Amino acid sequence: MIFLHRKWLRTQLWLIAAAIAFVLIIASEPTRPILIVGSFLLIVCLFNAYLELMVSAIFISPLKPKKSAEGSQWTSHYGSHKGLQTHIQVHSSKPQHPLVIFVHGWRSTSASIEDRALWFVEKKWNVVLLELPGHGKSSAIHRWNAITSADHIGSQLRNLNSFISVSEQAPVFLYGHSMGGYMCSRLSSQQTEPLGFNITGVIMESPLMLYSHILDEICKQFRIPKILRPMHLKRLYRDVQMMHPEVIASDSLKQFDVPEWGLPNAPILCLQSMNDNRLGREHYDALVLHAGEENELTHHLIETLTHSGARTNTEREQLLLEWLETFESLLL
């Protein structure tokens, strides 16, 4: 039912039921059968309220979006999809020049990737900065999840010509940082609808590749008992399927990890923080394991690179330049 799509409604309904059960217990004659049945109903309602609370809490959104990139070099556009607006910032060069499309990380904005983008601006590239739903100046979203975000970003990429003029022959690169790398990996794979243009290469910086690990981390933060996690996962799938019927309910989260989540059908450059204090090394290892044989993957562990805040990094930029020089007809 449509009204059950509201984020906290199921929790509220179970709490109301618990309150009713409690009132019935204290308002009725204190006979043993009434106390037993009432207490049982109260426990059931509170248990379900807790589970629904934990399910809704998974779909967290940034509480207060940070500022977007600013400056005369950027022109703002807004693309609409399913009632939400995506903030898109553009730097236009010549239509025949290469294009790089940036997607930032979780709880960041276009400002966090601006200096990386300016490196391309200096080389006369066309540059697009996309802000995820719930981030920056994009519309707020009550139930944030990666599938919905990829859907919105994909919609804007399929309408690329509506906010920037780029030749069909121009090379196009995707550049994703952290969660942005997770988005770029899926959007450049065969797991989604074609974007309508060929992707020349995909650059991923300290990318998230294993959502199952992120969910496990959140469950530990919320202290959800392990014995309840299968039931929690089942209800989590229920809510995801309400938003995305194509998702298959399963006891496994493999469909949200690479390679099932999607790997680029284009050459990949992974620039990984050697001492990643946010994601660790597991995501990088998964990418190398699954993309190393079938995909054209170039990967580097960079000791001087941090997961967040590395707006400029000489080693990263040198490795990026060396990789780009392997392609023909690029302005470098």
Q: How far is CA 221 from the centre of its chain?
A: 19
The arithmetic mean of pLDDT across residues 189-204, rounded, is 92
Element (H, E) at 112: none
Extract the tokens encoding 166: 């780029």
pLDDT value at position 190? 84
The arithmetic mean of pLDDT across residues 191-220, rounded, is 94
pLDDT value at position 28? 67
Give percent of the chain above pLDDT 70: 95
pLDDT above 50 for 1? no
Q: Residue 3: which pLDDT band, with cuts at 50, 70 and 90?
A: very low
Q: Is the dihedral of CA 297, 302, 307, 309 positive or negative?
A: negative
Q: How far is CA 260 from the centre of its chain?
A: 15
- Residues 103-139 have pLDDT tens digits of 999 999 999 999 999 999 999 999 999 999 999 999 9
Q: Residue 102: which pLDDT band, with cuts at 50, 70 and 90?
A: very high
- Residues 256-306 have pLDDT tens digits of 999 999 999 999 999 999 999 999 999 999 999 998 666 799 999 999 999
pLDDT value at position 36? 79
The DSSP string of 130-148 is: EPPTTSTTSPP-SS--HHH
pLDDT above 90 for 310? no
Where is pLDDT greater, at 272 or 1? 272
Q: What is the mean pLDDT of the chain?
A: 91
Q: How many residues does the chain have?
A: 332
- Look at the domain 75-210+257-324 and name its fold: Rossmann fold (3.40.50)
Where is pLDDT greater, at 93 or 332? 93
What is the Cα–Cα distance from 76 to 111, expressed in whole angstroms?
13
Does the predicted TM-score (pTM) go above 0.85?
A: yes
pLDDT value at position 309? 83
- Residues 8-58 have pLDDT tens digits of 888 999 999 999 888 878 876 666 677 778 888 999 999 999 999 999 988
pLDDT value at position 142? 83
Instruction: Let me know how many helices (H) and strands (E) the chain has, helices first.
Output: 9, 8
Extract the tokens encoding 208: 């998230």
pLDDT value at position 233? 93
